[in-house]
Amino acid sequence: MKTIAIIGCGFSGTMTAIQLIKNAAEPFSLVLIDHPGHFNRGIAYNPSSKKQLLNVTAARMSAFQDKPDDFLNWVVGREEFTGIHRDVLANTYLPRYFYGEYLESLWSEALQSSIAQNVTVSIKHALATGMEVSDQEITLLLDNDEKVTAQFGVIATGNCLPGNPDIKNTGIFNHPRYYRNPWDAYAVKTPDLKFPVLILGNGLTMADTVLGLVENGFDNEIHTLSPHGFTTLQHGQPAIGYTAIAGEFHNNRQSLTDLLRIVIKHIRLARNQGLTAATVIDAIRPFTQQIWQNLTIREKRLFLSRLRHLWDTARHRIPSQIHDKLMKLEASGKLYLHSGKLIEITEDGDCLIVRFFDHQKQLTQEMRFSAVINCTGPVTDLMKAESGLLKKCLVNGILVQDELNLGIATDPKTFEVYDGLHESRRNLFAIGPLLKGVLWESTAVKELREQAEAISKLLINKIGQSSGG
């Protein structure tokens, strides 16, 4: 009997496992490997605060592409929402922990059905630390000294931690008041009140961290620092379909210059109709993966260096109620949003001294902080990531990074990974943020649920072929 090992069981790993069980045609074994605190929920849906919200409305968060109302139906059935109209819930940004409970309920149902589907499920609450791969077999080494042998593997490890800032005093990264992991609950619970807190980065994770600090009683100033300052936009009214731009992408083979011209033209047209630029960006989403794949490597690099920030600002927005809370904190003198460049972090007794160049004031500032929390976003160059499985696999030639060092190289149609010789490994797959360099859009539920279904069907077919089915 064949064995499939899934490394990482947040949304991507969980939904791949669920789809495998659902579509099983032959008996097989399924081994799921992840830290117990991340199982089903991952980092995204296991927040430190129950007040952290999803960035997408409930109507668009189904875990199944063929059942678009699945999450909404689950929510409507919750006792907490009795008496709230379905249409209201559909357009609501619900707490993230609810979505974690939804995923747990889906997994519980799948686990119950696994026996009838002839799927043997084994869960390893551990981390994979090493991998050996041949054409016939994959061996995984776990941090509890166990070994897992499988014929097929799926890498679903999600996002890496943020990269450490480029400063000379690298020893500060081991300081207990420097938090590389912004999703660590201690990052928002332990800072004292003697000095302010500095958050590096001004994106979605920053917003969660600010509110987490406030919720945990931090009453001193909170400062944020990023090259562009605070540019995170809020979601407006429920999404309005903007279809006018769809005809522009009939062949998806425009140059980057052509694409920029098309987008600018339609933003002007949308604004003339009282719509925002974000409406146009949302309308492009169904085409972004194919557009990205058709750009040249030079165009992709140009986009990353010149246009990425503008894209991220329009693409990744926060619920209006979260945006309003941040603006109220800023107006009350509790939140300061700096545009600048970090120069150095040093230690001085019970605080960290931070020097940075303030773009607005055009001078270097030095401030004392109780803690520095890194919210600059996941590192994508895996050779700069924290030591771990993926880095070892790169060094050993089991995997190779994509041309832009945004993740690992994979076949965009089959999701099979490439090795150090850039040859496809027929028994090893990747899913999720690791495919960013290949697909660009590969982090939201919409993309991940599609990938999980596609990979599960490919694996089911491979198992059938190997057993003569």
- DSSP secondary structure, 178-192, as one string: EES-TTSTHHHHS--
Say what the pLDDT of residue 282 is: 87
384 & 443 share domain: yes
338 & 254 share domain: no
Residue linked to tokens 């009683």? 217
| Percentage of the chain exceeding pLDDT 70 | 97
Mean pLDDT calculated for residue range 91-120: 96
Say what the pLDDT of residue 239 is: 54
Domain limits for position 311: 246-315
Say what the pLDDT of residue 418 is: 97
**Alpha-carbon torsion angle 401, 407, 412, 414, nearest 10:** 80
Q: What radius of gyration, in Å, describes the C-alpha atoms of the chain?
A: 23
355 & 461 share domain: no
Supply 325's token pair: 């809370």
Q: What is the C-alpha separation between 278 and 270, in angstroms, rounded?
A: 10
Residue 279 lies in a domain: yes
Say what the pLDDT of residue 171 is: 96
Say what the pLDDT of residue 190 is: 73
Range of weakest confidence among 226-230, 249-253, 350-354, 423-427 = 249-253
Residue linked to tokens 């390893």? 124
**Which residues, other chains included, contact 353 with Cβ-Cβ below 8 Å and sequence gap of 6+?**
345, 346, 347, 366, 367, 368, 369
Residue 215 lies in a domain: yes
270 & 180 share domain: no
Q: 409 and 417 in contact (C-beta within 8 Å)?
A: yes
**Three-state SS at 465:** helix
Residue 283 lies in a domain: yes
123 & 176 share domain: no
Say what the pLDDT of residue 238 is: 55
Q: What is the C-alpha separation between 109 and 111, in angstroms, rounded?
A: 5
Say what the pLDDT of residue 236 is: 66
Q: 156 and 13 in contact (C-beta within 8 Å)?
A: yes
CA 214 to chain CA centroid, Å, is 24
∠ Cα 94 95 98 (to 5°): 95
Question: Which residue, 268, 284, 315, sits at the end of a domain?
Answer: 315
337 & 192 share domain: yes
338 & 427 share domain: no
Say what the pLDDT of residue 350 is: 84
Mean pLDDT calculated for residue range 35-54: 88
Mean pLDDT of the chain: 92
Residue type, 58: A
* 147, pLDDT greater than 80: yes
User: Which carries the bigger pLDDT value, residue 37 or residue 93?
Assistant: 93
324 & 395 share domain: no
Q: What is the C-alpha separation between 291 and 275, in angstroms, rounded?
A: 24
User: Which carries the bigger pLDDT value, residue 468 or residue 370?
Assistant: 370
Q: What is the C-alpha separation between 360 and 341, in angstroms, rounded?
A: 11
Residue 432 lies in a domain: yes
**Which residues, other chains included, contact 186 with Cβ-Cβ below 8 Å and sequence gap of 6+?**
179
Say what the pLDDT of residue 456 is: 98
If residue 272 lies in a helix (H) or strand (E), which one and from where to where?
helix 256-272
**What is the number of structural domains in the chain?**
3
Say what the pLDDT of residue 276 is: 82
Q: 390 and 435 in contact (C-beta within 8 Å)?
A: no
Q: What is the C-alpha separation between 239 and 268, in angstroms, rounded?
A: 18
Buried b (16+ CB within 10 A) or exposed e, 193-207: eebbbbbbbbbbbbb
Say what the pLDDT of residue 310 is: 82
**Which residues, other chains included, contact 371 with Cβ-Cβ below 8 Å and sequence gap of 6+?**
177, 178, 179, 187, 190, 191, 197, 198, 352
Mean pLDDT calculated for residue range 406-411: 96
Q: What is the C-alpha separation between 416 and 384, in angstroms, rounded?
A: 23
Q: What is the C-alpha separation between 435 and 418, in angstroms, rounded?
A: 12
Residue 89 lies in a domain: no
pTM metric for this prediction: 0.94
Say what the pLDDT of residue 289 is: 93
Supply 424's token pair: 């496809």
Question: Which residue, 355, 374, 393, sits at the end of a domain?
Answer: 374
Mean pLDDT calculated for residue range 132-137: 94
**Which residues, other chains included, contact 35 with Cβ-Cβ below 8 Å and sequence gap of 6+?**
125, 126, 127
Edge to edge, the sheet with strand 3-7 lists 119-125, 28-34, 3-7, 152-155, 424-430, 416-418
Confidence of residue 150 (pLDDT cuts 50, 70, 90): very high
Say what the pLDDT of residue 130 is: 96
273 & 331 share domain: no
Q: What is the CATH number of the domain that holds 209?
A: 3.50.50.60
Residue type, 361: K
Residue 83 lies in a domain: no
Residue 63 lies in a domain: no
324 & 189 share domain: yes
Residue type, 416: E
Going by C-alpha positions, the residue among 82, 56, 86, 87 that lies closest to residue 317 is 56
Residue 85 lies in a domain: no
414 & 457 share domain: yes
Q: What is the C-alpha separation between 461 and 24, in angstroms, rounded?
A: 9
Say what the pLDDT of residue 110 is: 98
Question: Which residue, 334, 357, 374, sits at the end of a domain?
Answer: 374
Phi, psi angle pair for 311, to nearest 5°? -65, -50
If residue 209 lies in a helix (H) or strand (E), which one and from where to where?
helix 204-215
* 71, pLDDT greater than 90: yes
Mean pLDDT calculated for residue range 423-441: 96
Confidence of residue 235 (pLDDT cuts 50, 70, 90): confident
Buried b (16+ CB within 10 A) or exposed e, 304-329: eeeeeeebebbbebbbeebbebbeeb
Angle between helices 320-331 and 204-215 (to 10 degrees): 60
Q: 43 and 103 in contact (C-beta within 8 Å)?
A: no
41 & 101 share domain: yes
Confidence of residue 384 (pLDDT cuts 50, 70, 90): confident
pLDDT tens digit string along 191-231? 788 899 999 999 899 999 999 999 999 999 999 999 987 67
∠ Cα 101 102 104 (to 5°): 65
Mean pLDDT calculated for residue range 267-275: 88
Confidence of residue 387 (pLDDT cuts 50, 70, 90): low
